């Protein structure tokens, strides 16, 4: 492959990634549409995974990102928008973005929720100019009708992530390296 072909290949991949991010169905619809999607994500989690009820009850706040679109061909990225809720009331809106490099090809969509289990974790998130999910983020893996073991997880983790609704051809979804930034929808 010549240098020019590699450049064209990379640029076409970046253009495709930009289009995938722009096709996120939330883009540009405003706060009311975003809140409706957050309501649907919340209801889906509560109805589909009753084992998460303890997280809902004990969390100080929950960030819902109802749709994240992720795509990549050696260079990739992900984008989604959502809302932070405290006592089930929206207090702020956030975007979630991530860039990645390496062996990857494909696209997927998924949703996720971050459960802030302590006031300190919630405060750190809300008052940082851009909060990045780290590799030590705890994941809860809900199973329909099964127990998640939330009581032991919540004792030690200030932030718990639940990834759900995956579809696409990229394997897995990790939130490591995702940056959350406050936005105005």
Q: How do residues 129-155 score in pLDDT, each as one tens digit? A: 888 877 557 777 665 433 344 444 445
Question: What pLDDT is stored for residue 157 in this prediction?
Answer: 85
Q: How, if at all, do strands 159-168 and 138-139 pair?
A: parallel
Q: Is the pLDDT of residue 103 over 90?
A: no
Q: How much is the pTM? A: 0.76
**Does 22 score more than 50 pLDDT?**
no
Per-residue model confidence (pLDDT) at position 24: 42
Measured CA to CA, the distance from residue 59 to residue 160 in angstroms comes to 9
Among 45-49, 78-82, 169-173, the least confident range: 169-173
Q: What is the pLDDT of residue 16?
A: 44
Classify the phi-psi angles of 19: left when phi > 0, otherwise alpha if psi is within -120 to 50, otherwise beta: alpha
Q: How confident is the model at residue 113 (pLDDT cuts 50, 70, 90)?
A: very high
Residue 59, pLDDT > 70, answer: yes
The structure tokens listed for 75 are 């260079």
Count of the separate structural domains present in the chain: 1
As separate numbers, helices (DSSP H) first and strands (DSSP E) second, the chain gives 5, 6
E strands within 117-178?
131-132, 138-139, 159-168
pLDDT (0 to 100) of residue 7? 44
Range of the domain at 147: 3-183
For the chain, give the mean pLDDT: 78
Residue 19 confidence (pLDDT): 39
Burial of residue 184, with CB atoms counted within 10 A of its CB: 0-12 exposed, 13-18 middle, 19 or more buried? exposed
């Amino acid at each position: 492959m010549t240098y020019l072909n590699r450049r064209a290949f990379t640029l076409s991949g970046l253009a495709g990634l930009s289009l995938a991010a722009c096709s996120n169905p939330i883009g540009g619809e405003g706060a009311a549409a975003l809140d409706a999607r957050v309501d649907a994500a919340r209801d889906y989690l509560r109805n589909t995974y009753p084992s998460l009820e303890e997280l809902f009850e004990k969390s100080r706040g929950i960030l819902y990102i109802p749709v994240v679109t992720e795509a990549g061909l050696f260079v990739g990225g992900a984008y989604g928008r959502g809302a932070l809720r405290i006592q089930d009331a929206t207090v702020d809106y956030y975007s979630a973005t991530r860039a990645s490099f390496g062996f990857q090809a494909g696209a997927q969509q998924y949703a996720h929720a971050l459960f802030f289990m302590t006031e300190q974790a919630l405060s750190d998130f809300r008052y940082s100019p851009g909060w990045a999910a780290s590799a030590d983020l705890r994941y809860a893996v809900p199973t329909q009708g099964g127990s998640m073991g939330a009581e032991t997880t919540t004792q030690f983790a200030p932030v718990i992530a639940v990834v759900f609704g995956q579809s696409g051809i990229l394997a897995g979804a990790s939130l490591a390296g995702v940056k959350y930034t406050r936005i105005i929808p």
